[in-house]
Structure 1
Amino acid sequence: MKNTSIQNGIILIPDFSGFTEFVFNTKLYTGEYIVRQLLSILIDVNNQYFDISEIEGDAILFYKYDQKPSYQKVSKMLRNMRNAFNMKILELSEMLNTTIELSLKFIVHYGKFTQYNIGSFKKLYGKPIVEAHQMLKNDLAEQPSYALYSHSFLENSQKDEADSNKEPMQVSEVGAIQYFGNIE
């Protein structure tokens, strides 16, 4: 059986750090409102560049079939998402008169995957999907917002050296990490 829908693509997962504690320490209605606002801003900033496979709790599984991914485009998208996320946290904190202790981490991976339909749902399938989820399970959760790029993404992307003003820290088992500073 040959599947002709297998293609190379980018997997992007923005995920909230501090989510479990947030859920346990925030009233149900307030927490749901905040999370809905934060997920919505990430989707809005994406501006349909990536497709959405699914939303689960505090994470969005974005993907884009792309034979020649651009490090510059993806990094710019992540900065825009992070800035919008941080601005929305400030806005919600003021509006609700509360402290929101959430930060954002990104997983960026690349490889061959496919999708299948179950009813009205489109599900992604392939080794890169599992690997991207495994990359979420790392010891960096206490860090400020960061992006974790896999070796596979970095090797297959076209990195513009002019855009790499901050050299990422290399982590041999997974790839490279770009730590974000304050809102630029």
Structure 2
Amino acid sequence: MAEALYFMPDISGFSDFVNETEIEHSIHIIAELLELLLDNNTLNLQLVEIEGDALFMFSTKIPSYEELMQQTETMLEEFHRHTKEYDTKRICTCGSCKTTIDLDLKFLVHYGDLTMIKVKNIIKPYGREVIQIHRLLKNQVPVQEYVLFTENIYILYQNNMIESWTKKTEIYDLQNLNYFYKILDNIKLKVEEESQKEAQKNEDFTIPDAIINRTFNANIEKIHRYLSELKYRHIWDKEVMRVEFDENEVNRVGTEHNCVLKLGTLKFETISRPSKDSLIYGEKTESIIFLKKFYYLVNLHALDLNATEISLNLYLEYTFLGSFMKKSILKRITKMWQNKLESLHQVTKSELFP
């Protein structure tokens, strides 16, 4: 009978994540993270199933202990790089987006016989080995990030294991089940240190060419959502026929989308800047005629629950020809944005929300 290594990366904190926060964004975020793990599958493990917050994988080619541990470290490092970058580039203020940085990753590894079952055209591992690794998903390991070896795989690699592993015994189906685990908290700390050393890269915002100040009779979170959720853009921006964007991705710094107008298409990229007491959303484009670059930042400051102070900053960098028409171009763009803000105000002060 063939033997296999069974491997399960499992995102810790996923249950709290989807139960307590916005479902739509959490689905996008978890999908991104699971795809990231698959992209970093250096051992070419075969994917059996996606099980909510976990990947169930196996291989009949048994790796060395060093290769296996490198696989866990690679996945974990890329996982935390992604969540850290996601946090620094985050635009959305919903619970799912704000708590992505708190997610952790654990690994369960087992070794045993490989029995396959076929149902219609679906063939996958089946039997007691599969049951055993799944039972250990609900273990009593007291930390969030670790790699867990069943006794079978511990015996397979014990001659190569020089690190400190903790043995634990739990009762499953009235029988003792031994397993061993190793804490992996050093990876997250490493990524955090790398992130702190890197200078934060922000758009070099100079003095704006125009500032439009308004007060909206609407909740700040509602206004920010209409601004940053691309699927709502056409509701308040009447010049936009539709917005082309990746619906499986949460909008954040660096996200690109196309605004399809009656007379063409403009390509935009999401931007922002740090702020402790305001919500800020912006975009930039190099697609406007006579301008090398145009970008805007909307600064939102809550006055009370249903009143928000709006400050729109417009930045224009002209081409050579555009420099001869500065006044007329700025006047036209300022008027256009005054109309957009008025439409946005009418939409956001309504009680209705899509």
Per the TM alignment, residue 69 of structure 1 is displaced from its structure 2 partner at its CA by: 4.3
The answer to whether the Cα contact below 8 Å between 1:72 and 1:159 also exists between their aligned partners in 2 is no
Per the TM alignment, residue 168 of structure 1 is displaced from its structure 2 partner at its CA by: 1.2
The answer to whether the Cα contact below 8 Å between 1:70 and 1:158 also exists between their aligned partners in 2 is no
The equivalent residue for 2:15 is: 20
Find the aligned partners of 1:121 and 1:55 in 2 and give their Cα distance. 14
Of residues 147, 165, 168 in structure 2, which corresponds to 1:168?
165
Q: State the one-letter code of the partner of 1:156.
A: L
The equivalent residue for 2:150 is: 150
Per the TM alignment, residue 29 of structure 1 is displaced from its structure 2 partner at its CA by: 1.9
Of residues 40, 55, 62 in structure 1, which corresponds to 2:57?
62
Q: Report the structure number with the largest CA radius of gyration.
A: 2
Find the aligned partners of 2:70 and 2:77 in 1 and give their Cα distance. 11
Q: State the one-letter code of the partner of 1:64.
A: S
The equivalent residue for 2:78 is: 84
TM-score (norm 2): 0.46
Find the aligned partners of 2:19 and 2:32 in 1 and give their Cα distance. 18
Per the TM alignment, residue 96 of structure 1 is displaced from its structure 2 partner at its CA by: 2.6
Find the aligned partners of 2:82 and 2:178 in 1 and give their Cα distance. 30
Q: How does 1:31-46 map to 2 (within 5 A)?
A: 31-46=26-41
Of residues 2, 5, 29 in structure 2, which corresponds to 1:7?
2
Q: How does 1:68-147 map to 2 (within 5 A)?
A: 69-97=63-91, 98-100=98-100, 101-140=102-141, 143-147=143-147
Find the aligned partners of 1:26 and 1:120 in 2 and give their Cα distance. 37
Q: How many residues align?
A: 174
Of residues 182, 194, 198 in structure 2, which corresponds to 1:178?
182
Find the aligned partners of 2:59 and 2:46 in 1 and give their Cα distance. 6
TM-score (norm 1): 0.85
Per the TM alignment, residue 158 of structure 1 is displaced from its structure 2 partner at its CA by: 6.9
Per the TM alignment, residue 33 of structure 1 is displaced from its structure 2 partner at its CA by: 1.0
Find the aligned partners of 1:108 and 1:159 in 2 and give their Cα distance. 17
Per the TM alignment, residue 122 of structure 1 is displaced from its structure 2 partner at its CA by: 2.6
1:68-87 alpha-carbon deviations (Å, 9 max, x no partner):
54222111101111111111
1:81–1:8 distance in 2 versus 1, CA, 3 Å: same
Find the aligned partners of 1:32 and 1:96 in 2 and give their Cα distance. 16
Per the TM alignment, residue 124 of structure 1 is displaced from its structure 2 partner at its CA by: 1.1
1:147–1:48 distance in 2 versus 1, CA, 3 Å: closer
Runs of 5+ consecutive residues of structure 1 not aligned to the other structure:
1-5
Q: State the one-letter code of the partner of 1:131.
A: Q
